[in-house]
Structure formats: C-alpha cells, structure tokens
C-alpha cells in the first residue's frame, strides 16, 4: 500500500506542473482560467485576481457547469500545490485536456509578490440564504454579489409590484425603490399580496417596505409615498437605478416612465393586466441621438423599441377604460409580475434572453402564451432618429377614482 508521500509523488508524475513565474506570465496574458480549490476560509483571506473559486470537495460536481469547454487552459491551485495536484488528475480523468497544477500554490505566488486581491465574500448567513443561487453556475457567488449591489425601482406597489417586489427581495436585490401614493384598501387584497388586512389604511409604499424587510433584511427599501410626476421623476431617478419595473395602471405614469427611462438609458420591464389577459416585455432602447453601434462596437444593433414605438401617444380619455371598470382575475398579476421579476433578474445578471423586442401575451382562460415581435420605430417621437418629444408631458389623468398607481386594470 502506498503512503501519502508516495501517492503524491506518483500523481505529480502524471500531471503538468507550472511554477509561480510561469503562472504569472499566463495570468498576465489573461486567457488561462485560474481555478482555486482551497477552502472558503483560505479564499476569504486573499486570492489571485480573477480566479474562480470551487472548494476541492465540490470540484467534480461543479466543474462541467463552470467550464463546459474541456480544451480550456486551466491552472489549478491550492495553498501549497498538493491538493491541486490531485485535483488536476481528477480534471484529466473528467476529460479536461489542458490542466496544470500551480507548484507551490498560492503561498509561492504571494511570496513572489504577484498580485492578489481580497475577494468580496458573502457572510455565512448569506451563503445559506442564497444557497440555491450559489448552486447555479449562471448566478454563483459573483452573481449573488451583483444582485446584492443592484438597485431596482418599482413603479407601483399593487398587483404587479407585489409579486415582483417579493421575488426580487427574496433573490437578494440589495436596494428596491417603491413609488406609490396610495393607501392599502380592502379591494386591493384580492391580488396585492405584499399587503395584508392589518395594513388597511397604511401607505402602500410603507406597507410593502415592511413586508419586504421582514422577508429579507439584506434589502434596503426606499419608499416614495408620492405619485410619479414630471415634477419628481428626475429627483427619484437621481437616486440611481439599474432597472425600472413598470407596474403602473395608468397612461400618464407609463408615458412618464418611458420617456424618463429612454433619456436616462435605464431598461424598463413592462407588465400590464386586464381581466384574464396579461402582457410583458422589456424596453431597452438606445440613448437618443447615439448612432447605432457608435458607443460600443460589440452592440452594433440599433437598440430595442420603447413604449412609444408601440403606442406613440395615449388614447383619447373616452376610449380608455377607467380603473373602476378594470376587473382582473386575482392570480393574473401574480403570473405577469413574476415574469417581470424573472426578466429583471436576467437583466441584472446579464444571463439568458430577455423579452427585449418581444411582447409576451398570456391568456389565463386558455392558459396560452403567445408572443409578437416588436421593433424600434425610427420615427418614434422619443427614441427615434429625430425625436419630437424632449421634455416631460403630464397627460390628463383619465383614470381618476383614487388617482391610483396600483397595478390593476391597466389596458392599452
């Protein structure tokens, strides 16, 4: 039977090893993946910049998700070069063709004075709370950090804003803004699940804040107990938002949100509901006046549509249904608002294909999803080539009963 030393010698004879200066040269060239297999507490104290961390015990189960390309050049490292030697052989057994182990490990790298960084890490509580995210390669620790650093503004704490805010908060979106001027009414509770019977009469923005902060103490909620207007929109946007979730139920607010988001370059995740029908899409238009692909060669397309590309101006008041008439099946905003949360998380994480350029239509009676392709209109009054609208317009409110900004009864 072999001793540990004999086994280590044998394994080292079967794998490729590189020394720290060689690894440093590869690191500078920025094509090699540095795979750090040390334990969490070792990683927390310092790491090679850009290295990917997978503790040794999870290496075999996670590597295929992390590195699907088996020809990728990988340098495995641990503290001293022994664990990484065994890991390198495991990777070879899994079919990875281009793996070397860093001889002397992180200790030797550090001794040579090569660059290190202190990784930002999740607390043990956060690691437990978000464990189901950490298990998905597309999220992982870096993605979870990104969510915690993200800022999402919700327009309306009503039917759509309820599920959207709850799921975004549960996912660990670190800062959530909520704009809503209403108070909780008993007719809201059939669908607005972020509120409750004991909150009747309480401002919706504050009620939602209480529910969200009870759900996840990592989340900071900025409550705006006001109706979005041309007077306050710039002040609210100045707080800095990565994505806007539009759960407004009225045209003046929708147009205001659209124009502001185009001018500020903030993507909008749009949702609307009426009776048994719901719609969702993502508006991510280019900044007006920027020639296609000018700012970023990699994004040479001309940008998606905005709300006004689809509906240049509001319908006349007599054709718009009033809020009071706008019945809705209670679960419908749950479905559409959850889709909005899904689109938002993808935008924040930079994964998947969003609904940009696609309007998703849901019919709750038939349980069918359809989608129509929507394109940027070069003659759009806001995001088009020669924009006519360059200042905020306060449209006349034709959905007056309580000047509601909650998310019921929207219809275009």
Chain residues that interact with Zn ion, rule: CB under 5 A: 306, 308-309, 380, 383
Distance (Å, whole) CA 371 – CA 131: 33
Q: Which residue is nearest to Zn ion (CB)?
A: 380
Which CB sits closer to Zn ion, 152 or 268?
268
Q: In the complex, what is the shortest distance from the CB of residue 310 to Zn ion, in angstroms, rounded to a whole number?
A: 8
Least Å distance between CB 292 and Zn ion? 14
Sign of the torsion formed by the C-alpha atoms of 364, 365, 369 and 374: negative
Listed in order, strand segments (DSSP E) in 189-331 are 220-224, 243-246, 268-274, 277-283
CB burial readout 239-254, b (16+ within 10 A) else e: eebbbbbbbbbbbbbb
Q: Which is nearer to Zn ion, 184 or 309 (CB)?
A: 309
- Is the separation of the CB atoms in 290 and 380 below 8 Å? no
Q: What are the start-end ranges of the E strands in 144-267?
A: 151-155, 175-179, 220-224, 243-246
Q: In this complex, which beta carbon is closest to Zn ion, that of residue 119 or of residue 357?
A: 357
Nearer to Zn ion, 203 or 381 (CB): 381
Q: What's the CA gap between 209 and 187, in Å, rounded? A: 20
CB of 262 to Zn ion, least distance (A): 7
CB of 309 to Zn ion, least distance (A): 4
Q: 49 or 265: whose CB is closer to Zn ion?
A: 265
Nearest approach in angstroms of CB 392 to Zn ion is 15
Min. distance of Cβ 384 from Zn ion in angstroms? 6
Q: Are residues 165 and 193 in contact, defined by beta-carbon separation less than 8 angstroms?
A: no
Tokens of 208: 């939602």
Q: Between residues 308 and 346, which has the closer beta carbon with respect to Zn ion?
A: 308
Within 10 angstroms of residue 165's Cβ, the number of other Cβ atoms is 32
């Amino acid at each position: 039977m072999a001793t540990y030393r004999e086994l280590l010698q044998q394994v080292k004879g079967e794998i490729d090893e590189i020394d720290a200066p060689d690894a440093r040269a590869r690191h500078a060239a920025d094509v090699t993946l540095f795979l750090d297999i040390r334990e969490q507490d070792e990683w927390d104290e310092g790491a090679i910049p850009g290295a990917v961390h997978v503790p040794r015990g999870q290496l075999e189960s996670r590597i295929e998700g992390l590195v699907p390309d088996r020809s990728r050049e990988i340098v495995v490292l641990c503290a001293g070069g022994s664990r990484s030697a065994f890991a390198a052989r495991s990777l070879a057994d899994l079919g990875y063709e281009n793996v070397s182990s860093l001889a002397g490990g992180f200790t030797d790298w550090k001794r040579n004075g090569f660059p290190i960084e202190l990784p930002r890490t999740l607390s043990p509580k956060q690691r437990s709370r978000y464990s189901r995210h950490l298990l998905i390669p597309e999220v992982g620790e870096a993605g979870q950090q990104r969510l915690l650093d993200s800022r999402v503004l919700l327009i309306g704490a009503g039917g759509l804003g309820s599920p959207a805010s709850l799921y975004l908060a549960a996912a660990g979106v670190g800062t959530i803004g909520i704009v809503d001027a209403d108070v909780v009414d008993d007719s809201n509770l059939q669908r607005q699940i972020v509120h409750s019977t004991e909150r009747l009469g309480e401002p919706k923005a504050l009620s939602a804040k209480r529910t969200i902060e009870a759900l996840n103490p990592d989340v900071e909620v900025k409550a705006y107990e006001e109706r979005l207007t041309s007077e306050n929109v710039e002040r609210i946007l100045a707080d800095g938002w990565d994505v806007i979730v539009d759960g407004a139920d009225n045209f003046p607010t929708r147009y205001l949100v659209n124009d502001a988001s185009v001018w500020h370059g903030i993507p909008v995740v749009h949702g609307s509901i009426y009776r048994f029908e719901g719609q969702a899409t993502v508006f991510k238009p280019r900044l007006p006046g920027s020639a296609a692909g000018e700012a970023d060669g990699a994004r040479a397309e001309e940008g998606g549509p905005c709300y006004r590309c689809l509906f240049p101006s509001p319908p006349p008041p007599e054709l718009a249904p009033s809020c009071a008439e706008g019945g809705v099946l209670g679960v419908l905003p749950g479905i559409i608002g959850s889709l909005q949360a899904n689109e938002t998380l993808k935008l924040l994480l930079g994964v998947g294909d969003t609904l940009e350029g696609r309007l998703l239509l849901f019919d709750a009676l038939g349980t069918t999803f359809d989608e129509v392709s929507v394109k940027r209109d070069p003659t759009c009054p806001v995001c088009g080539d020669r924009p006519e609208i360059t200042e905020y317009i306060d449209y006349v409110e034709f959905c007056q009963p309580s000047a509601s900004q909650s998310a019921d009864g929207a219809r275009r």
